[in-house]
Amino acid sequence: MKIKILLILLLATSLSNAQTSEERDKIIANYNLDETKSLIESLNLEENNKRNRIEEYISQNPEVKEEYYINDKYYKIFDVIDNSPVYITSYNYVSSQATRTNSLYPGGSLGLDLEGEEMIIGVWEIGYPLKDHIEFLDESGVTRISTPDTSTINPEAGYHATHVTGTLAANGISTSRKGMAPKSTILAYNSNQDITETVNAHQTTGMLVSNHSYGVYINGDDGEQQVPDWYMGCYNGQARNWDQVHHNNPYYLSVVAGGNDGTANYPNGLQSGLDKLTSTANTKNNLVVASASAQVSPFSSELTSLSKSSFSSQGPTDDGRIKPDITGRGQNVSSASNESINAYGSSQGTSMSSPNVAGSLLLLQEHYNDLNLEFMRSATLRGLVCHTAMDDADELSPVTALPYPGPDPFWGWGFLNAEFAAQTITDANNNMSVLDERTLSNGETYSFTVNVSGSQKLMATICWTDLAGNTQENQLNSPNAVLVNDLDLRITDSSNNEYFPWKLDLSALPYAIKGDNLVDNIERVEVDTPTAGQYTISISHKSNLAFTVPGGGPEDQDYSIIVTGADMTLSNGSNELPNLMVWPNPAKEMVNYLFANQSNQTCLVQLIDLQGRVMYSQNVLGGSANIKGSINTSGYSKGVYFLSLSQGNQKTHKKVLLH
């Protein structure tokens, strides 16, 4: 991202890492708030109609319980379908090591200092967490949890909600139970009215990520199937509603547990052992999380074994979309318990893998904001973690199950690798990767070239928040795509060989193939063994981009592009100094720089703070092939600076974070 020095004074007041009111206002500045208001009114009407259906059913069937517990597991009527009640239930330290989130912590391998401090995360649950548990208190002994949807100061706490919130944000009083974002601020809600509450929370507080560890299950404890066969994998009204919310609020991302029906059986699925995602888990624009069992070495913190959880619900969707999206650690997770303020318990399920992922994503937003003074769109965040996920087929030594190259209905795009994701954010600021947010206009093709000098896999991913599609309710295994705007990603080498994205083939499940993807709003193209040279990356679209309103003009489609690998550098088509490297970034005591010399002219090197003050200035002689140097930053205050380099008419400004 290119930052002009003339912006420095305008940015000076934005140094805080927090999700301040200024950050919130910046996020929603371009939102269509009238459209959101209309959507909320429509969703409230739907919710009232659903409530009326439930109440009418209970009045006609007084023997039916609206809510009940079995073996400490809570069940609650979600809707009435085909005159039958449909219930939802909860999808009941090592996690951070397995997904490499600990690399982002103070003292971690990336040299960052990320713990979610003053960042906001939402948790919607069937119940509330124990607010005064020692793991949720800040340094002053005040709880970091608020419960905005109830006037009760300390609502009755449930085990599941407490455990999930601990996985998200426990502060690490018990070091082995430290949450992913241990200093974050938690907004805790009951799952009632979740869809409208998330919109309000996002727009009023700037909340970027929320976790939802509950959903509609297939078979109850008695083995009876509670939903019709068409319900699994179906893009129903609930999935469509969530897509509308994400499209209208493009910086907000809901992270959803995929479900625990992995061993369930029912007739008429897409394929035996597949097609078990329900309701919200079939949404296009959210992030659906599967579960894996992960073991790490106590000495090196490296993964020693990794296998998909047998209970984790499998995809894909009926139209062949890659769902779940990603996998986190969800087996044998120890976290906070509601039994007392210092109690802990062990649980497993996608309920545990989902907060493992959601809390990690919050740290990635924090890191991006540290370097760019703004947050990522949800499509950027979603595309980034799917792009950098650990493919089980690429990690043969720790993986104990049959590997599936590329995405699959078990792992999605793979196991979360927060370290690679954070490194990609850092590398993008040094032109060593691409992490860009762009807009594609109707009829446009956008292309750019990268230079490859290594043999490591070259990967490019695009991700976009799509418009809500047409629902497929009451249709069994409908193959009709619910994608509205179909963007296409291609890579072409210097010999005009064209590389296509991964996709699932409904006739070849569970394996993925490469070809023209017609259903997913994430596309990833890989060149496994590139040769040195230039590669062209192109983004285009099919047909016309969808109309926002009848009779209106076509809508430009925002999208995000991520590119990594193969010692890649961007081809230089501007007046910027090429191939500039700045490291480490963030830095503590020393900042190093290196770039290819363009002439014999002297290069002016300056370090400038956010108030526009020149903190360091030196003229470096040209003449050699490369110009390199170091700046001792041990005496400077922590914060964001700009490294400015000028040689002749060529200039470059790079953001540097000192901590």
Contact 246, 286 (CB under 8 A): yes
Residue 307 phi, psi dihedral angles, 5° rounding: -145, 145
pLDDT at 454: 79
Amino acid in the structure at residue 165: T
pLDDT at 35: 87
Provide the terminal-to-terminal Cα distance of the chain, rounded to the nearest Å.
21
Contact 239, 483 (CB under 8 A): no
- The string of pLDDT tens digits covering residues 277-315 is 999 999 999 999 999 988 776 666 677 778 899 999 999
pLDDT at 104: 87
Closest CA to 407 of 328, 479, 501: 501
Closest CA to 309 of 519, 86, 98, 505: 98
Contact 376, 361 (CB under 8 A): no
Closest CA to 121 of 370, 357, 466: 357
**Which range, of 56-70, 229-243, 271-285, 570-584, averages the lowest pLDDT?**
570-584
Amino acid in the structure at residue 363: L
Distance (Å, rounded) from C-alpha 231 to C-alpha 475? Answer: 8
- The mean pLDDT value for 25-42 works out to 89
- The mean pLDDT value for 610-625 works out to 79
Taking the CB of residue 535, how many other CB atoms lie within 10 A of it?
24
The burial of 89, by beta-carbon neighbours within 10 Å (0-12 exposed, 13-18 middle, 19 or more buried), is given as: buried
pTM of the model: 0.85
Residues 6+ apart with CB under 8 A from 49: none
Structure tokens at 530: 């590139």
CATH 2.60.120.380 fits domain 432-570: yes
Statement: residue 554 has pLDDT above 90: no
CA 490 to the chain's CA centroid: 23
Statement: residue 137 has pLDDT above 80: yes
Structure tokens at 465: 């928040």
> H-helix or E-strand containing 146?
strand 145-146
Distance (Å, rounded) from C-alpha 49 to C-alpha 163? Answer: 33
- Which residue, chain included where needed, has tokens 């990594």? 564
- The string of pLDDT tens digits covering residues 140-178 is 999 999 999 999 999 999 999 999 999 999 999 998 889
- C-alpha distances (whole Å) from 299 to each of 73, 164, 180, 293, 417 are 36, 27, 20, 19, 19
Distance (Å, rounded) from C-alpha 107 to C-alpha 116? Answer: 15
Amino acid in the structure at residue 501: P
Banded pLDDT at 94 (limits 50, 70, 90) = low
pLDDT at 504: 97
- The mean pLDDT value for 594-616 works out to 80
Banded pLDDT at 72 (limits 50, 70, 90) = low
Amino acid in the structure at residue 175: T
Among left, alpha and beta (phi > 0; psi -120 to 50; other), residue 158 is beta
Statement: residue 125 has pLDDT above 80: yes
Distance (Å, rounded) from C-alpha 506 to C-alpha 517? Answer: 12
Contact 327, 292 (CB under 8 A): yes
Closest CA to 411 of 307, 317, 507: 307
What percent of the chain stands above pLDDT 70? Answer: 90
> Which is more confidently placed, 44 or 22?
44
Q: Of 105-114, 391-400, 493-502, where does the model show the most confidence?
A: 493-502
> Which is more confidently placed, 636 or 628?
636
Distance (Å, rounded) from C-alpha 52 to C-alpha 564? Answer: 51
- The string of pLDDT tens digits covering residues 194-224 is 999 999 999 999 999 999 999 999 998 778 8
pLDDT at 300: 65
CATH code assigned to 31-421: 3.40.50.200
The burial of 237, by beta-carbon neighbours within 10 Å (0-12 exposed, 13-18 middle, 19 or more buried), is given as: middle
The conformation of residue 234, written as its DSSP 8-state character, comes to -
Residue 235 phi, psi dihedral angles, 5° rounding: -85, 90
Taking the CB of residue 431, how many other CB atoms lie within 10 A of it?
21
The rounded mean pLDDT for the chain is 88
Banded pLDDT at 598 (limits 50, 70, 90) = low
What percent of the chain stands above pLDDT 90? Answer: 59
CA pseudo-torsion sign 100, 101, 103, 107: negative
Distance (Å, rounded) from C-alpha 233 to C-alpha 609? Answer: 52
List the 487-492 sheet strands across, edge first.
498-499, 487-492, 533-541, 446-452, 569-570
pLDDT at 66: 86
- The string of pLDDT tens digits covering residues 437-483 is 999 998 899 999 998 887 889 999 999 999 999 999 999 999 999 99
CA 452 to the chain's CA centroid: 28
- The string of pLDDT tens digits covering residues 474-523 is 999 999 999 999 999 999 999 999 999 999 999 999 999 999 999 999 99
Distance (Å, rounded) from C-alpha 455 to C-alpha 525? Answer: 16
- The mean pLDDT value for 555-579 works out to 76
Please state the domain extents for the chain: 5-16+576-658, 31-421, 432-570
pLDDT at 409: 96
Taking the CB of residue 115, how many other CB atoms lie within 10 A of it?
23
- The string of pLDDT tens digits covering residues 228-244 is 999 999 999 999 999 99
Taking the CB of residue 32, how many other CB atoms lie within 10 A of it?
13
Bridge partners for 570 per DSSP: 450
- The mean pLDDT value for 71-93 works out to 78
**Which range, of 415-424, 558-567, 608-617, averages the lowest pLDDT?**
608-617
Contact 396, 333 (CB under 8 A): no
Q: Is the peptide bond before 182 cis (omega within 30 degrees of 0)?
A: no
pLDDT at 12: 29
Closest CA to 18 of 211, 252, 206: 206
Statement: residue 246 has pLDDT above 80: yes
Distance (Å, rounded) from C-alpha 223 to C-alpha 220? Answer: 5
Contact 633, 646 (CB under 8 A): no
Contact 608, 8 (CB under 8 A): yes
Contact 364, 189 (CB under 8 A): no
Distance (Å, rounded) from C-alpha 544 to C-alpha 471? Answer: 21
pLDDT at 11: 28
Residues 6+ apart with CB under 8 A from 62: none
CATH code assigned to 5-16+576-658: 2.60.40.3080
Distance (Å, rounded) from C-alpha 287 to C-alpha 357? Answer: 9
Statement: residue 430 has pLDDT above 50: yes
Banded pLDDT at 258 (limits 50, 70, 90) = very high
